[in-house]
Amino acid sequence: MMYPVVCREEEAGGGFFGWSAVASVLDVEVLEVGLGEMRDVIKVDELFEGLLAAVGGAIYSQGFGCSCQHLNGEFSMAVVQANSLLEDQCQIESGSLSLLDSGPYGTFVGVYDGHGGPETSRYINDHLFQHLKGFTSEQQSMSVDVIRKAFQATEDVAVGSCCLVGVICGGTLYIANLGDSRAVLGRIVKATGDVVAIQLSEEHNASQESVRQEMRSLHPEDPHIVVLKHNVWRVKGLIQISRSIGDVYLKKAEFNREPLYVKFRLREPLKRPILSAEPSISVLELQPNDQFLIFASDGLWEHLKNEEAVDIVQNHPRNGSARRLVKAALQEAAKKREMRYSDLKKIDRGVRRHFHDDITVIVVFLDSNLVSRASSVRGPTASIRGDGVNLPAKSLAPCATPMDLGAT
């Protein structure tokens, strides 16, 4: 089985490996190469130490334990599968953020946590960034309006997904979110040298009192707009999140009827959308003491606090940062169930969902010298997507990695 990886680097100063060499070592399928040539791939400090690796057969990764270059620094990426079908998708795009050669240039990060199947998260992975590039081309700049339009253009899909996006362009960071994935910034406090965790994304989960209040204020006529069901707050007793891409059965009346399963149909006619597709968007001017960003689906944050995640990244080498966070979350999940981590790794996907969710993590390191560059400055381009490869239960990833991961 070949792992789909899209990678490209057109200009970088040294540390090159040919596409054919990387493909043979990592057993990956090259989907795109700069200028059609078999040359110049991701610049790394080590040869993708564990780029595609497995933990108990359940983890695969593009950028696993590597020191991969994006336009504003380096990044690390990892995914663990718990569902029978992996519902998480992710991508990192570095280079032009428009369809024009003139840019602007920057880095795009996306984490898409699907529910009810992987269809919508895959659709977002295929279309959202392309929509963003189109709207950026029209306005010839990056903006909140561009991001909002890209979300709107990706909205009309049946099944649902959370959607977390980060865009770094010209020293400015844009964070856009629907659902309960999360972006956290690690920032050094100059006075003490400590690194603090700053949550950048606003979450839309009915477990939060503020979200329940928002839903009640938007639907004052409905006493059952949020319901506590089996000790979990849910919108209409059906879904935990209040904003998403897709989930049209809770947005359009024509989809809340047959052939929709009875358990998802509302008793009363749907007069107006219950869920929203309006992302929460924040804008931050990055500072020289901003060290890294952690983008992750809620599967990570169910088991790790913001401060714990930031400490793990800060206190270890950059290589393998995302993998390290995933492992810490799995260890905590095992601890909560009073079982050994080694035993958790043996559980088949599907059954494993009772112990933890799919987890996607992207750690983006920020080089202040690169971040401060103008958005018109070209740099190395990279396009990597975690497209979701489903392996047989308890199988290991089919590639041999340069480093022995042992019992990680």
Rounded Cα distance, 42 and 11, in Å: 10
- In DSSP notation, 119-173 reads HHHHHHHHHHHHHHHHHHHHHTS--HHHHHHHHHHT---SSEEEEEEEEEETTEE
CA 273 to chain centre: 26
pLDDT at 54: 28
Buried b (16+ CB within 10 A) or exposed e, 215-237: beeebeeeeebbeeeeeebbbbb
Q: What is the mean pLDDT of the chain?
A: 79
Question: Of 22-26, 152-156, 258-262, 299-303, where does the model show the most confidence?
Answer: 299-303
Position 232 pLDDT exceeds 70: yes
Rounded Cα distance, 385 and 94, in Å: 12
Residue of 368 and 223 predicted with greater confidence: 223
> Are the C-beta atoms of 295 and 48 separated by less than 8 Å?
no
pLDDT at 6: 34
Q: Is 213 helix (H, G, I), strand (E, B) or coil?
A: helix
Residue of 326 and 407 predicted with greater confidence: 326
Residue indicated by tokens 């839903």: 215
Nearest to 77 by CA among 357, 389, 367, 321: 321
Average pLDDT over residues 214-241: 95
Nearest to 395 by CA among 51, 59, 4: 59
Element (H, E) at 359: strand 359-365
Position 352 pLDDT exceeds 80: yes
Residues near 258 by Cβ (< 8 Å), separated by ≥ 6?
Answer: none
CA 298 to chain centre: 10
% of residues, the chain, pLDDT over 70: 76
- Per-residue pLDDT tens digits for 43-52: 222 223 333 3
pLDDT at 382: 78
Rounded Cα distance, 79 and 91, in Å: 11
Position 2 pLDDT exceeds 90: no
- Per-residue pLDDT tens digits for 125-165: 999 999 999 999 999 999 999 999 999 999 988 889 999 99
pLDDT confidence tier of residue 387, bands split at 50, 70 and 90: low
Rounded Cα distance, 1 and 9, in Å: 25
pLDDT confidence tier of residue 374, bands split at 50, 70 and 90: low
Rounded Cα distance, 224 and 212, in Å: 11
pLDDT confidence tier of residue 260, bands split at 50, 70 and 90: confident
Rounded Cα distance, 296 and 113, in Å: 9
> Are the C-beta atoms of 92 and 382 separated by less than 8 Å?
yes
Question: What domains, with CATH codes, occur in the chain?
Answer: 3-201+279-386 (3.60.40.10), 209-240+244-264 (no CATH)
Rounded Cα distance, 323 and 360, in Å: 10
pLDDT confidence tier of residue 256, bands split at 50, 70 and 90: confident
- Per-residue pLDDT tens digits for 17-29: 232 333 333 333 3
Residue 342, CA distances (Å) to 57, 159, 325 in order = 12, 34, 16
Neighbours of 75 (CB within 10 A): 28
Residues near 245 by Cβ (< 8 Å), separated by ≥ 6?
Answer: 120, 124, 151, 154, 155, 157, 160, 161, 162, 163, 178, 277
Neighbours of 395 (CB within 10 A): 12
Rounded Cα distance, 58 and 254, in Å: 39
Rounded Cα distance, 89 and 161, in Å: 10
> Are the C-beta atoms of 378 and 302 separated by less than 8 Å?
no
pLDDT confidence tier of residue 261, bands split at 50, 70 and 90: confident
- Per-residue pLDDT tens digits for 277-291: 999 999 999 999 999
- Strand partners of residue 173: 168, 284
Rounded Cα distance, 366 and 310, in Å: 14
Considering only 232-246, 260-274, 357-371, which range has the smallest mean pLDDT?
260-274
Rounded Cα distance, 197 and 69, in Å: 23
> Are the C-beta atoms of 76 and 350 separated by less than 8 Å?
no
